[in-house]
Amino acid sequence: MAMNITKKILSAHLAKPSDMIPGQDIFLKVDQTLTHDINAVMTYLAFEQVGLDRIGVECSVSYLDHNLLYLDNKTPDDHIYLQSVAKRYGVHVSRPGNGICHAVHVARFGAPGKLSMGGDSHTPHGGSIGMLCIGVGGMDVATAMTGVPMRLTMPKVVKVNLVGHLKPGCNAKEVILEMLRRVGIKGGLGKVFEYVGPGASTLTVSERATITNMGAEMGATTSIFPADERVREFMRAQHREDQFVEILPDEGCDYDEEMEVDLSSLEPLCACPHQPDNVIPLKDVEKKKVQQVFIGSCTNASYSDIAKAALVLKGHHVNEDVSCTCAISSKQIYTQLMRDGYIEMLMNAGVRLLELACGPCCAIGQSPATKGVAVRTTNRNFKGRAGNPTAEIYLVSPESAAATAIVGTFASAEDILGADVAKLAEIHEPQEFPIDDSMIIKPLPLEEAKKVEIVRGPNIQPLPIPDAPENYLKAQISLKAVDNISTDDITPASAEFSSMRSNIPLMSQYCYHRYDPTFAARAKEMGKSFIIGGENYGQGSSREHAAINPMYLGVKAVIAKSIARIHRGNLINHGVIPMLFADPADYDKLEQEDELEINGLLDQMPGRMVEIRDVTKDFTFKVKLDLSDSELEVITAGGQLRHLQKQLKEMEQ
Ligand code: F3S
């Protein structure tokens, strides 16, 4: 049977036979996992609890890449724990300074046809090399690392037929911003975007990575490109051509949906505050004074991204009113840019070079000024994402960011270079990258690994484990939230907050801190409570702390109009029941501090419909439980850790 790329990879990883019908549960054997420092401590604490001696997948990598700002003991405590726990269980470690997880993973570990799960929403970056990469919560990564089959709702596969080719001065960022403009931040839910067609073969792996990486902003399960000659070139440049396998869609294969993007028609675009789908042509953005430009992140800090930005800046200087910083995505890219003279161009233009890390992308340094206009090449522009909720974040390509840094207001590469913009097309990815894996610590043999002592500084606090739900639940509403609450709203980003993520008793005090600073104390005081959400609750980053912290504060269920995919999984894993209004109009009737009562919760759950009484206002309403059988088992067991321990015990018997 003719198959698309997605189905080919999924069918090769099925742990149980399946017809792969969209919406049905499928169970998959995972090849690789990745974690990163600001989410991973919970993952490894959970893996320790499982009681295995070693990981059960081909390859797991722990990246120390997000928070390299050691403000106090907390982050070094985390890094030392992560390095020692990785040694104990056979996990590779990519040390601080080696680069951002997705860039390094694609370059040094990924391979076409593999299936990976990563504790980061931008894990689909690896779709750029024809690998199926899915972003999940940290507890899911811990589960995948054991080697047990992972559940996935079979997605619909959308064919995105690319035609034409990008004009000089236009970046792959324009492609994904155009997708976001058309599809929106919820439009990718339950879908894989498969980019094919003649335009796809004009894009390099790094350009493809910008598109698959930022596909996360559409809420997609993942995005993928064919493993074709462009991927072979990339693998060759990484000295790993032996791991290349060609994976193309079969002729005449089916897709669930189709769309087309003409690359030649794209102009520089910009995502305006405060959502990544608020996209308009760059030339139409109000010419405000820009305070800050940041060129970097996993999305847009490849060799050609930075080289093109440097070429725009060459012979110019950063405007005196603009703070312009740049964080390159990996050591090998930095080295090559240095050899080719681009680092000097950046420095001569007054760009401040930062560590090879996520940094400003997740508010670890370089927060904008009060009400500052920040122009970034990153992937998210939620309020507060840059560490200052009064700031406005605009997302553009590196070429446009460089031009903006010179002018001091929104500008494109063509505005600076005129007809010479064509020169940008002469920049190509290196035919050979400098290969140096000395910053990667390889796993020890099992017997040696068993002797490793896991180091736990004071910031490493035990993982809180939820209680199983009871049949009778009476609790107040601790928060009524609006539409599009992001995990950044729930668990704020910054160097200070990120360093608390291994310490839930401390971090939970800052839950919803920037959205409603009174929430944490109120929820704790209530003991048990409900959160009410609007549409797309929990969008954005995969950080499971957005589920763990409310759980720790006693939140038993989130009742929303819709819940984003990864966050929904995190709620389930941490024993918080995700409920959807059967009639969204009921959202308007509820108020913060209303008391809600559920009689027979456990009895009603198998029917996937639960009746709730608002005791304060004396009316009843219904909520749907959009849970598969296995998710229901996880919830009733009291979360994924208890469920996994039970599963592994049964497998032993
Ligand atoms: Fe890091 Fe930002 Fe990417 S936090 S992994 S650079 S989305």
Instruction: Please give, one letter per residue, the 3-state secondary structure of 501-562.
Output: CCCHHHHHHHCCCCCCCCHHHHHHHHCCEEEEECCCECECCCCCHHHHHHHHCCEEEEEECC
> Mutual orientation of helices 37-50 and 74-89 as an angle, nearest 10°?
40
Q: Are residues 392 and 477 in the same domain?
A: no
Residues 501-517: what's their mean pLDDT? 95
529 in any annotated domain: yes
The amino acid at residue 432 is E
Q: Which of 39, 333, 362, 364 to mutate to test the pocket of ligand 1 (most atoms within 8 A of CB)?
A: 362
Query: How high is the pLDDT of residue 223?
Result: 98
Q: Looking at residue 333, what is its pLDDT?
A: 98
Residue 381 lies in a domain: yes
- For the residues 326-351, what does the mean pLDDT come to? 98
Picking from 363, 394, 426, the residue at the C-terminal end of a domain is 426
Distances from the Cα of 520 to the Cαs of 63, 464, 527, in angstroms?
30, 16, 11
**Which one, of 223, 238, 148, lies nearest residue 191 by Cα?**
223
Which amino acid would we find at residue 409?
T
Rounded distance between C-alpha atoms, residue 115 and residue 30, angstroms:
5
Residues 303 and 366 in one domain: yes
- 329 CA closest ligand 1 atom index: 6
**Ligand 1: distance of its center to the CA of 121 in Å?**
9
Position 343 confidence tier, pLDDT thresholds 50, 70, 90: very high
Q: Which helix (H) or strand (E) holds 80?
A: helix 74-89
- Are both 418 and 500 inside the same structural domain? no
Residue nearest ligand 1's atom 3 by CA? 298
Which atom of ligand 1 is closest in space to residue 380's alpha carbon?
A: 7
Rounded to the nearest 10 degrees, the angle between the axes of helix 545-552 and helix 37-50 is 70
pLDDT tens digits, 203-212: 999 999 999 9
**pLDDT (tens digit per residue) in 570-590:** 999 999 999 999 999 999 999
Q: Is the same domain home to 479 and 619?
A: yes
Is the shortest distance between the CB of 494 and ligand 1 below 6 Å? no
Q: What is the pLDDT of residue 649?
A: 83
Q: Is 120 in the pocket of ligand 1 (CB under 6 A)?
A: yes
pLDDT above 90: residue 309:
yes
Q: For residue 214, report the distance from its CA to the centre of ligand 1, in Å.
A: 10
Which among 396, 426, 456 is the end of a domain? 426
Within a domain: residue 51? no
Q: Across residues 536-541, what is the average pLDDT?
A: 92
Round to whole Å and give the CA distance between 278 and 215.
15
Q: Among 237, 31, 223, 15, which residue's Cα sits nearest to residue 123?
A: 223
100 lines ligand 1 (CB under 6 A): yes
Q: Are 254 and 2 in contact (CB under 8 A)?
A: yes
Where residue 523 falls (left for φ over 0; alpha for ψ -120 to 50; beta otherwise) is alpha
Contact yes or no for 520/574 (Cβ under 8 A): no
Kindly give the distance from the C-alpha atom of residue 617 to the centroid of ligand 1, in angstroms, as a whole number: 44
Q: How far apart are CA 447 and CA 40, in angstroms?
A: 24
Separation of 323 CA from ligand 1 center, angstroms?
20
CA–CA gap between residue 390 and residue 375 (Å, rounded): 14
CA 36 to ligand 1: nearest atom: 5
Please, are residues 331 and 437 in contact by the beta-carbon 8 Å criterion?
no
Q: Is pLDDT above 90 for 560?
A: yes
Does residue 288 carry a pLDDT above 90? Answer: yes
- 405 and 477: one domain? no
- Average pLDDT along the chain: 97
* Ligand 1 pocket mutation, candidates 63, 102, 297, criterion most atoms within 8 A of CB: 297
Provide the percentage of residues in the chain whose pLDDT is more than 70. 100
Is 413 a member of any domain?
yes
Our measurement of the distance from residue 25's CA atom to the centroid of its chain's CA atoms, rounded to an integer in Å, reads 22
Domain count, the chain: 2
Tell me the best of 326, 361, 501 to mutate to test the pocket of ligand 1, counting ligand atoms within 8 Å of each CB and taking the most: 361
Distance (Å) from CA 116 to ligand 1 centroid? 17
Which pLDDT score, from 0 to 100, does residue 544 have? 93
pLDDT for the residue 542: 83
Q: Based on the domain organization, do 496 and 596 belong to the same domain? A: yes
For 269-275, what is the mean pLDDT? 97
Tally Cβ neighbours within 10 Å of residue 468: 12
Residue at which a domain ends, from 392, 411, 426: 426
Average pLDDT value for residue range 477-503: 92
- Asked if pLDDT for residue 646 goes beyond 90, the answer is no
In ligand 1, which atom is closest to the CA atom of 101? 5
Classify residue 201 as exposed, middle or buried by CB count within 10 Å of its CB (0-12, 13-18, 19+).
middle
For ligand 1, the distance from its centroid to the CA atom of residue 183, given in whole angstroms, is 22
Of ligand 1's listed atoms, the one at least distance from the Cα of 65 is 1
Q: Measured from the CB, is residue 191 less than 6 Å from ligand 1?
A: no
C-alpha of residue 297 to centroid of ligand 1, in Å: 5
Is 1 a member of any domain? no
Q: Do 617 and 486 fall into the same domain? A: yes
At residue 132, the pLDDT reads: 98
How far apart are alpha carbons 574 and 538 in whole angstroms?
14
Give the whole-angstrom CA distance, residue 144 versus residue 569.
14
The reply to whether 366 falls in a domain is: yes
> What pLDDT, on a 0 to 100 scale, did the predictor assign at position 647?
84
CA distance 420 to 325: 25
* Residue 512: domain span: 473-652
**Farthest CA pair distance, the chain:** 72
> Ligand 1 pocket, 379 CB below 6 A?
yes
- Low-confidence winner among 485-489, 593-597, 645-649 (lowest mean pLDDT): 645-649
Atom 1, ligand 1: residue with shortest CA distance: 358
Mean pLDDT within 219-227: 98
| 362 C-beta closer than 6 A to ligand 1 | yes
Q: Which amino acid is at 410?
A: F
- Judged by phi (left if over 0) then psi (alpha if -120 to 50, else beta), residue 608 lies in left
With a pLDDT cut of 90, the percent of the chain lying above it is 96
Write out pLDDT tens, residues 1-37.
Answer: 899 999 999 999 999 999 999 999 999 999 999 999 9
Output the pLDDT for position 486. Answer: 93
Cα of 358 from ligand 1 centre, angstroms = 5
CATH number of the domain at 592, please: 3.20.19.10
Alpha-carbon gap, residue 65 to 174, rounded angstroms: 26
Number of helices and strands in the chain (H, E): 24, 26
Residues 505 and 390 in one domain: no
Note whether residue 145 is domain-resident: no
Residues 408 and 495 in one domain: no
Local confidence band at 539 (pLDDT 50, 70, 90 cut-offs) = very high
How many CA atoms lie within 13 Å of 317's alpha carbon, on the beta-carbon side? 5
Domain CATH number, residue 329: 3.30.499.10
Whether residues 513 and 579 fall in one domain: yes
What's the pLDDT at 44? 97
pTM, two decimal places: 0.95
Q: What is the pLDDT of residues 113-170, one digit of tens each?
A: 999 999 999 999 999 999 999 999 999 999 999 999 999 999 999 999 999 999 999 9
State residue 648's pLDDT score.
84
- 416 found inside a domain: yes
Would you say the CB of residue 346 lies under 6 angstroms from ligand 1?
Answer: no
pLDDT value of position 651: 78
Among protein residues, the one with the nearest Cα to ligand 1's atom 5 is 298
Q: Which atom of ligand 1 is nearest to the CA of 541?
A: 7
Same domain, 303 and 392: yes
Q: Are residues 623 and 505 in the same domain?
A: yes
